[in-house]
């Protein structure tokens, strides 16, 4: 299915407030409704963060379950959950929702770095070893989030140690200050380091999302859009998740490709059909 593109919608993120992104979903009901709208618009996967009553990122497993139950009641979109949705959470809190909701995919942020200017995005080897083992035990596919080249090399270590399984699926996250830049040159370099049997996707933060999307499609990768990464449709026009998905679907079609259905995405990623 080389002409099929997996389209992920990253709906919420952990930090962006409503006063910056007026259409960002916050509650389980809002997130589930946006997931349904994005699925109708063509999204293959939805990537989920949760927010607490103060709109801050939380790893509350009950909010994950309520949201996922609402989504599954309405559509068959592939569910992908974060394991890094709250910088205050302990290592145990970052993964306790996995056994509780058993998503199809969960994020594996493959290393630590200075997320400028806020602080250190901490993903210790001890945490990642346990996280990888937990995902294998639960049958969850890791989406390996790569912010810089060293993280790809580290994944080879986790693979050899049995904490990850091949074929791996990578998400190249470009444009975070302190990590790889959202340039075509950085995208090409990171792609060159991936294992031959890997599947991969990429996105750029903010205004870089369109050039990175187009370059990724030209290189045969999958793509991600959504208000977690970019809150404007164009300069001065606030986006909705649905708007960003609909535009991505059109761009994929113009590239003479088609969006993978959820079940086609499951086949590409080696997941069980729902």
Q: Using H for helix, E for strand and C for coil, what is the string for 177-218?
A: CCCCCCCHHHHHHHHHHCCCCCEEEEEECHHHHHHHHHHHHH
Within a domain: 154: yes
Q: What is the pLDDT of residues 202-237, one digit of tens each?
A: 999 999 999 999 999 999 999 999 999 999 999 999
pLDDT band at 27 (very low <50, low <70, confident <90, very high): very high
Asked if 209 and 203 touch (Cβ cutoff 8 Å), the reply is yes
In a domain, 13, yes or no: yes
User: Could you read off the pLDDT of 133-176 as tens digits, one per residue?
Assistant: 999 999 999 999 999 999 999 999 999 999 999 999 999 999 99
Residue 274, in any domain of the structure: no
Look at residue 242 and tell me if it is in a domain: yes
SS (H, E, C) 77-103: CEEEECCCCCCCCCHHHHHHHHHHHCC
Calpha distance 274→270 (Å, rounded): 12
Position 271 scores a pLDDT of: 97
Distance CA 125, CA 76 (A): 34
The answer to whether the CB of 164 falls within 8 A of the CB of 137 is no
Has residue 96 been placed in a domain? Answer: yes
Report whether pLDDT(195) > 80: yes
Question: Which pLDDT score is estimated for 273?
Answer: 83
198: domain CATH number?
3.20.20.70
Q: Which SS3 state, helix, strand or coil, does residue 15 take?
A: coil
Give the pLDDT band of residue 188 (cuts 50, 70, 90): very high
Instruction: Please check whether residue 19 lies inside any domain of the structure.
Output: yes
Backbone φ, ψ for residue 150 (5° rounding): -60, -25
Nearest CA to 154 out of 192, 188, 193 is that of: 193
pLDDT, the chain, mean: 97
Residue 42 within any structural domain of the chain: yes
Handedness of CA 79, 82, 85, 88 (dihedral sign): positive
Peptide bond into 117 cis (omega under 30): yes
> Could you tell me the pTM of the whole model?
0.97
Q: Tell which residue, 1, 4, 11, has the closest CA to residue 32.
A: 11
Q: Give the structural domain span for 80.
A: 4-269
Q: Are 26 and 55 in contact (CB under 8 A)?
A: yes
Q: How many domains does the chain have?
A: 1
pLDDT of residue 274: 74
Tell me how far apart the alpha carbons of residues 50 and 61 are, in angstroms, rounded to a whole number: 9
Residue 224 lies in a domain: yes
Element (H, E) at 144: strand 141-146
pLDDT at 25 over 90: yes
What's the pLDDT at 266? 98
pLDDT per position as a tens digit, 32-55: 999 999 999 999 999 999 999 999
How far are the Cα atoms of 157, 158, 164, 198 from residue 31, in angstroms, in the given order? 36, 33, 30, 30
Distance, in Å, from the CA atom of 23 to the CA atom of 186, rounded to the nearest integer, reads: 31
């Amino acid at each position: 299915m080389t002409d099929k593109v997996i389209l992920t919608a990253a709906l919420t993120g952990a930090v962006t407030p409503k006063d910056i992104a007026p259409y960002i979903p916050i509650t389980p009901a809002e997130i589930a409704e946006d997931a349904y709208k994005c699925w109708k618009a063509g999204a293959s996967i939805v990537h989920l963060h949760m927010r607490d009553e103060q709109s801050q990122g939380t790893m509350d497993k009950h909010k994950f379950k309520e949201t996922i139950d609402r989504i599954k009641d309405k559509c068959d979109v592939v569910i992908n959950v974060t394991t890094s949705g709250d910088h205050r959470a302990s290592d145990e809190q970052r993964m306790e929702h996995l056994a509780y909701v058993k998503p199809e995919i969960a994020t594996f942020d493959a290393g630590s770095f200075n997320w400028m200017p806020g602080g250190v995005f901490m993903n210790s080897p001890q945490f990642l070893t346990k996280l990888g083992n937990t995902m294998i035990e639960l049958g969850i596919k890791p989406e390996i989030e790569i912010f810089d080249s060293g993280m790809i090399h580290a994944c080879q270590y986790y693979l050899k140690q049995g904490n990850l399984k091949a074929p791996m699926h990578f998400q190249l996250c470009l444009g975070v200050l302190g990590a790889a830049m959202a340039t075509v040159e950085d995208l090409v370099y990171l792609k060159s380091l991936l294992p031959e049997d890997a599947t991969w996707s990429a996105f750029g933060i903010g205004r870089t999302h369109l050039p990175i999307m187009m370059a990724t499609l030209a290189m045969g990768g999958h793509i991600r859009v959504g208000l977690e990464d970019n809150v404007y449709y164009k300069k001065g026009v606030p986006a909705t998740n649905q708007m960003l998905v609909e535009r991505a679907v059109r761009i994929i079609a113009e590239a003479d490709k088609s969006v993978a259905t959820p079940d086609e995405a499951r086949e590409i990623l080696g997941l069980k059909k729902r």
